């Protein structure tokens, strides 16, 4: 088949200059139009033209239409109601057309009219658009409008990028009136796109038909690309084609995860999918999603032991607390549950000291009061009395009774008057005795010294 193709010579760089030239033409045209407003009347009659149509049936009074010595001019006030006189209404551009355009000696008008528009107007479409010109054209401008709406009546409604495309892109002979029906197969118009497609190389892959399997009518490339038969979700969306289609061979590409991720499976170390005490399934999607290969969601249903088989790296890398340093048991299930690795279920049974081995981060992170800044003891158990509840109600104030007795219920800052420094306290902030009275009252106490904290040396329980 040697079906012809366009042989247009394309060259670039003329857009701006052409547009500018066109604008100039338009400006000149408008100027000419303004100057020519009082041009020749539409029905102007030429002296020597003479009648070219029979007058036998016309009224005998020539002055009804003509004037001039030789009746060779149409009257300036000539009016002819075509619809009333002939029964044929003249609409649109026909209303202003010169009579002789239709009424001349090339044949009776009735004969041409019987053929419809094509009787007078040449049909550049060569009848291949049918004889009903009015389905696209109107009598005002003849130029067709509402083409999108008209095209919606065909098998190929213009959607997306096609709506804004120029006619000639699908009908290459449009400018010479050739609107012969275009093939609706994508490749018939997108042959050049097909030839240009090198990533991947469509021709090499044999992708020369059924474009709609991958491409959208909205836009040919970029975001409109559809891999719907195997959705490119998650990390696959940004993967290069060659990652799955090795060597740019697209035919026969397998569609199972393991087919591409075998190496990931084989080299997985956390956990080791191959040498683990139980064999991981090769149905990767049971644990992994396309969002990321990491962070698999393993179904722990039915698993109650041997966690460390998979989670040994987690055990080894755990820093809070360091499982290795404190020789934690590798029976993970003693502390952890499968629903969340970070929420532990550690049993404190039998543990009465060494809390800071695990809770040093808690010590450092505590701000109310700030343990580190206040120089609190790192012997947690000296204050915190419960392993089941580390909270506010389960701690001691071992050096001074504040939960009972006369000092119960007062705010911390009443005695610890330096903000954030709980190592400092001030008894005389409340007990504001006059020093002279205290001196006389303690004149029998050896080593007595008046000061904000010296009270505590003799009154460690806050009693008299």
Question: Of the two residues 231 and 460, which places its CB atom closer to other proteins in the complex?
Answer: 231
Q: Is residue 166 close enough to count as binding other proteins by CB under 8 A?
A: yes
Q: How far apart are CA 334 and CA 336, in angstroms?
A: 6
Least Å from the CB of residue 81 to other proteins: 8
Nearest to 223 by CA among 235, 208, 238: 238
Distance from C-alpha of 453 to C-alpha of 426, rounded to nearest angstrom? 6
Judged by CB under 8 A, the residue of 82, 91, 95, 131 near other proteins is 131
User: Rounded CA gap, 410 and 408, in Å?
Assistant: 6
Contact between 159 and other proteins by CB under 8 A: the answer reads yes
- Choices 166-174, 250-258, 273-281, 317-325 (CB under 8 A): range interacting with other proteins: 166-174
Query: Which of residues 155 and 297 has its CB atom nearest to other proteins in the complex?
Result: 155
List the alpha helices (DSSP H) in 190-321.
191-196, 202-205, 241-244, 257-267, 308-317
155 is a contact residue toward other proteins (CB under 8 A) = yes
- Give whichever of 105 and 259 is closer to other proteins, judged by the CB atom: 105
Q: Which of residues 133-152 bind other proteins (CB under 8 A)?
A: 140-141, 143, 145-146, 148-149, 152
Nearest residue (CB) to other proteins, 52 versus 410: 52
120 binds other proteins (CB under 8 A): no
Q: 134 Cβ partners below 8 Å, 6+ apart? A: 117
DSSP alpha helices (H): ranges in 75-146?
82-86, 99-102, 109-113
Q: Which of 82, 91, 132, 341 binds other proteins (CB under 8 A)?
A: 132
- How far is C-alpha 296 from the chain's CA centre? 26
Q: Least distance (Å) from other proteins to the CB of residue 248?
A: 19
Residues 6+ apart with CB under 8 A from 418: 424
Q: Which is nearer to other proteins, 70 or 451 (CB)?
A: 70
Which one of residues 82, 91, 95, 126 is an interface residue with other proteins (CB under 8 A)?
Answer: 126
Q: How many CB atoms lie within 10 A of CB 265?
A: 16
Residues within window 227-266 making contact with other proteins, judged by CB under 8 A:
228, 231
Among 63, 305, 345, 368, binds other proteins (CB under 8 A): 63
Q: Which residue, 163 or 402, is less far from other proteins as judged by CB?
A: 163
Task: Please enumerate in sequence order all residues whose Cβ is within 8 A of that of 425, keeping only pairs 6 or more positions apart, or say none.
Answer: 415, 416, 417, 452, 453, 456
Q: Does 181 bind other proteins (CB under 8 A)?
A: yes
Of 136, 182, 268, 438, the residue at the interface with other proteins (CB under 8 A) is 182
Tell me the per-residue interface mask from 21 to 60 with other proteins, x by CB under 8 A, - otherwise.
xx--xx--xx-xxx-xxxxxxx---xxxxxxxxxxxxxxx
Closest by Cα among 357, 348, 419 to 390 = 348
Nearest-approach distance from CB 201 to other proteins, in angstroms: 15
Q: How far apart are CA 329 and CA 310, in angstroms?
A: 15
Least distance to other proteins, CB of residue 149, Å:
6
Residue 321 · residue 342 · CB < 8 Å? no
Least distance (Å) between residue 162 CB and other proteins: 9
């Amino acid at each position: 088949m040697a079906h012809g193709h366009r042989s247009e010579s394309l060259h670039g760089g003329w857009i701006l200059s052409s547009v500018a030239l066109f604008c100039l033409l338009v400006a000149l045209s408008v100027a000419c139009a303004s100057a020519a407003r009082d041009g020749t009347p539409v029905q102007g009659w030429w002296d020597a033209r003479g009648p070219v149509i029979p007058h036998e049936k016309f009224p005998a009074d020539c002055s009804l239409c003509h004037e001039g010595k030789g009746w060779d001019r149409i009257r300036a006030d000539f009016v002819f109601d075509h619809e009333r006189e002939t029964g044929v209404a003249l609409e649109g551009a026909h209303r202003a057309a010169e009579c002789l355009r239709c009424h001349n000696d090339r044949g009776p008008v009735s004969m041409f009219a019987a053929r419809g528009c094509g009787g007078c107007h040449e049909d550049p479409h060569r009848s291949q658009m049918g004889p009903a010109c009015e389905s696209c054209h109107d009598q005002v401008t003849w130029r067709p409008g509402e083409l999108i709406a008209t095209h919606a009546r065909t098998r190929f409604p213009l959607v997306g990028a096609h709506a804004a495309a120029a006619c000639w892109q699908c009908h290459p002979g449009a400018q010479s009136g050739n609107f012969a029906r275009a093939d609706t197969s994508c490749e018939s118009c997108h042959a050049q796109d097909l030839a240009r497609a090198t990533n991947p190389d469509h021709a090499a892959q044999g992708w020369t038909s059924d474009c709609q399997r991958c491409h959208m009518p909205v836009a040919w490339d970029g975001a409109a690309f559809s891999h719907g038969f195997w959705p490119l979700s998650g990390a696959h969306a940004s993967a290069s084609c060659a990652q799955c289609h090795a060597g740019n061979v697209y035919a026969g590409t397998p569609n199972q995860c393991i087919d591409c991720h075998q190496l990931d499976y084989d080299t997985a170390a956390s956990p080791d999918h191959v040498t683990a005490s139980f064999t991981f399934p090769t149905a990767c999607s049971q644990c992994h999603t396309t969002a990321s290969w990491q962070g698999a969601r393993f179904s722990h249903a039915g698993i109650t032991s041997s966690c460390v088989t998979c989670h040994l790296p987690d055990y080894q890398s755990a820093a809070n607390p360091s499982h290795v340093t404190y020789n934690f048991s590798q029976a993970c299930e003693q502390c952890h549950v499968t629903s969340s690795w970070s929420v532990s279920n550690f049993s404190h049974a039998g543990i009465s000291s060494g809390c800071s081995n695990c809770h040093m981060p808690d010590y450092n992170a505590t701000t109310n009061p700030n343990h580190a800044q206040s120089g609190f003891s790192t012997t947690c158990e000296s204050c915190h009395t419960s392993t089941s509840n580390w909270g506010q109600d389960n701690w001691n104030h071992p050096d001074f009774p504040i939960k009972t007795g006369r000092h119960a219920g007062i705010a911390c800052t009443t005695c610890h008057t330096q903000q954030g420094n709980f190592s400092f306290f001030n008894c005389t902030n409340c007990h504001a005795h006059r020093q002279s009275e205290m001196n006389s009252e303690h004149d029998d106490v050896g080593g007595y010294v008046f000061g904000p904290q010296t009270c505590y040396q003799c009154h460690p329980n806050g009693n008299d």
